[in-house]
Amino acid sequence: MNFLRRRLAGSPEYARVAPFAIFVALTMLQGKLGDDSRYWLYLLKTLVGAWLIWEMRPFVREMRWAISWEALVVGAAIFGIWVGLDGLYPRLNEAETVWNPGKRFGEGSAMAWLFVLVRIAGSSIVVPPLEEVVYRSFLYRMLVKTDFQAMPLGQFHALSFVVTSAIFGLMHPDRWAAGILCGLAYQWLVIRKGRLGDAMTAHALTNFLLGIWVVWKGAWSFW
């Protein structure tokens, strides 16, 4: 633990990228250790992700939640875009297996609801800080200045604005077009407000609404 804290404290890049990389590595293991591992590994990575956020918080000053009307509007709008555009453009790949704990553990079972709630909590509370720090704070500025902290969060740079959003979208290959629009909207929020917290809130609201939609409509393919 002390080793991790020293690394986080000693490198601004490490403090922003390493926690995200660990989270992604755990994501890639989901389903690789048996069918049930896509569920229990999600639980594990959510707990690990929450711990990593706690550890990196003193060293990533911009990672602070903020609420504004712009954040709420953007969060709700991106949810609408994510759902509304589904099926209107070709996917770059298809999910191998739909994430459906009810089908796996029994509809209405305690285990199924546990993993549903973990998924909603993880995507709404843990994912937004980790992703926003990497994409909207680190990558956006690093593409402009090697000393990325010298670049204000509110500074607009057209090429980085587009490239960062494109990379973010392509990291969601099954819904890449919606992902690009999502990246543009969240980055716009950071630039407009000059801080990261509004994008974190918008991202959290989008994911929370999507989670409610998935459960309400049984639209498991979104997960």
What's residue 95's pLDDT?
Answer: 63
Burial profile 18-46: b = 16 or more Cβ within 10 angstroms, e = fewer: bbbebbeebeeebbeeeeeebbebbeebb
Mean pLDDT of 215-221: 94
List CB contacts of 168: < 8 A, sequence separation 6 or more.
Answer: 131, 135, 179, 180, 182, 183
- 146, 145, 137, 125: which is closest to 164 by C-alpha? 137
pLDDT tens sequence across 70-101? 999 999 999 999 999 999 999 988 766 688 99
pLDDT tens sequence across 122-165? 999 999 999 999 999 999 999 999 999 999 999 999 999 999 99
| Tokens (6 digits) for 67 | 């609420």
What's residue 35's pLDDT?
Answer: 86
What's residue 93's pLDDT?
Answer: 84
Residue 8 predicted with pLDDT over 90: no
Q: Which amino acid is at 223?
A: W
pLDDT tens sequence across 28-64? 999 889 889 999 999 999 999 999 999 999 999 999 9
Taken in order 102, 27, 130, 73, the sign of the CA dihedral is: negative
What's residue 219's pLDDT?
Answer: 94
Mean pLDDT of 99-120: 94
